[in-house]
Amino acid sequence: MIITANQIYGATAICNKVPRGKLVDLLFDDRSWTISYVVIRIGSWHTRPQVLVRPRDITDINLASRRVCLGLSESQLKAAPSLESNPPVALQKYRESQRYLAWDAYWGGVFRKIPDDGDPHLRNTRAVTGHHMFGLDSDAGRVDNFVIDDSMWQIRYLVVRIGKHRDAKRVMIEPRWVDSIVWEERGIHLHLSKTDIEHCGEFIPKQFVKRS
């Protein structure tokens, strides 16, 4: 079935019919555009650890009740790898900035290049949302959502908002048109002109409602 990322953010994660956390993000490989992990926030208000669950462990998604059922026990969910163990690019860059700050504070302004850690192709949808979409000739809009086939956990389209207003037109871009994602620019470069982007198929939310 076809769903969108915005539809499942905040959904309750269910293990053996008992609520155990919230789905808060999706991690994807920017080469294959497949979802590698869903991020589940578990624990108390004070700790709130975030763990990584493979999409294959999701047995059902019910959008009406805002629930994601997992084929895992509570202990298996708690034993899942942490987000910090396999950080997406956004978290890698945050860590790098903190290391720079610590080095600068210690040495009084002398900077040293510290190598990145983690997979440079692992992205999270939350962080990529809001990125500028750069066509071949100019900025064409911003990433607003992701359309996902949950049978294969493949990102089928990036939803791009054309214009600054919340009710601005939204169009769907196939990932095959993406040349690169540049974190430092908060941008995605496309092999399409701005006109081509504006004339892509319009995103109509009502078309992407999975009925359970």
Q: Is there a single domain that holds both residue 71 and residue 148?
A: no
203 shares its domain with 134: yes
Considering the domain boundaries, does residue 103 fall inside one?
Answer: no
Instruction: Residue 139: give its domain's CATH number.
Output: 2.30.30.240
Residue 111 amino acid letter = F
Show the domain range for 53: 6-84
Residue 91 in domain: no
Domain contains 118 = no
* Domain contains 31: yes
Give residue 111's pLDDT.
43
**Could you say which of 84, 106, 140 is where a domain stops?**
84
Q: Report the number of secondary-structure helices (H) and strands (E) in the chain.
A: 5, 14
Residues 22/12, Cβ–Cβ less than 8 Å: yes
| Number of Cα atoms under 13 Å in the Cβ half of residue 84 | 4
Q: Can you list the residues of the chain whose pLDDT is less than 50?
A: 100-115, 211-212
Each residue of 108-117: pLDDT tens digit? 444 444 445 6
Our count of domains for the chain comes to 2
Residues sharing a CB contact under 8 Å with residue 164, sequence separation 6 or more, in sequence order = none
Encoding tokens for residue 142?
A: 């911003």
pTM, rounded to two decimals: 0.86
pLDDT of residue 44: 60
Is 136 in the same domain as 69? no
